[in-house]
Amino acid sequence: MDLHILQFLAAPAVASLVIAGIHAYLGLHVVERGVIFVDLSLAQIASLGATIAAVVPALGGDPNSRGVYWMSLGFTLIGALIFSMIRGHRANIPQEAIIGISYAVASGAVILVTSKAPGEAEHLKNMLVGNILSVQWPEVWTTGAMYLLIGAFHFVFRKRFLEISINRRAAASLGTPVRFWDFLFYASFGFVVTRSVAIAGVLLVFCYLIVPSVGGILFSNRIGPRLAIGWVMGTAVSMLGMYFSVVFDLPTGATIICTFGVVLALMAMVRPRVIAWKS
Partner 1 sequence: MRSFCSLLALAVAATVAATVAATVAAAEPAPGPLRIVTTTQDLAALAREIGGDRIAVEALAKGYQDPHFVEPKPSFILLVNRADLLIAVGRELELGWLPSLIAQARNARIQPGARGYLDASLNVKILEIPTGQITRAMGDVHPLGNPHYWLDPANGRLIAQAIRDRLSELAPNDRAYFKQRYADFDARLAAAEKRWDATMAPYKGTKIVTYHRSWPNLMSRWNLDVIGYVEPKPGIPPSPSHTLQLIAEMKRQGVRLIVVEPYFDLKTPRSIASQTGGTVLVLAPSVGGVKEVTDYLQLFEYNIAQLSRALDTTR
Contact positions vs partner 1 (CB under 8 A): 2-10, 13-14, 17, 55, 57, 61, 114-123, 125-127, 131, 133-134, 136, 224-225, 228-229, 231-232, 235-236, 239, 245-246, 249-252, 254
Q: Which is nearer to partner 1, 134 or 142 (CB)?
A: 134
Residue 63 Cβ vs partner 1, minimum distance, rounded to whole Å? 10
Q: Which is nearer to partner 1, 96 or 120 (CB)?
A: 120
Q: Looking only at Cα atoms, what is the longest distance across the chain?
A: 65
**Is the distance from CB of 164 to CB of 185 less than 8 angstroms?**
yes
Residue 249 Cβ vs partner 1, minimum distance, rounded to whole Å? 5
Residue 224 Cβ vs partner 1, minimum distance, rounded to whole Å? 7
Q: Which is nearer to partner 1, 114 or 176 (CB)?
A: 114
Residue 12 Cβ vs partner 1, minimum distance, rounded to whole Å? 9
Q: Which is nearer to partner 1, 94 or 251 (CB)?
A: 251
**Is the distance from CB of 91 to CB of 29 less than 8 angstroms?**
no
Q: Which is nearer to partner 1, 2 or 92 (CB)?
A: 2
**Is the distance from CB of 135 to CB of 12 less than 8 angstroms?**
yes
Q: Which is nearer to partner 1, 178 or 242 (CB)?
A: 242
Length of the chain counted residue by residue: 279
Nearest-angstrom CA–CA distance, 45 and 127: 15
User: Residue 139: is it exposed, middle or buried by C-beta count within 10 angstroms (0-12/13-18/19+)?
Assistant: middle
- What angle (nearest 5°) sits at the alpha carbon of residue 199, between those of residues 184 and 60? 80
Residue 175 Cβ vs partner 1, minimum distance, rounded to whole Å? 33
Residue 261 Cβ vs partner 1, minimum distance, rounded to whole Å? 19
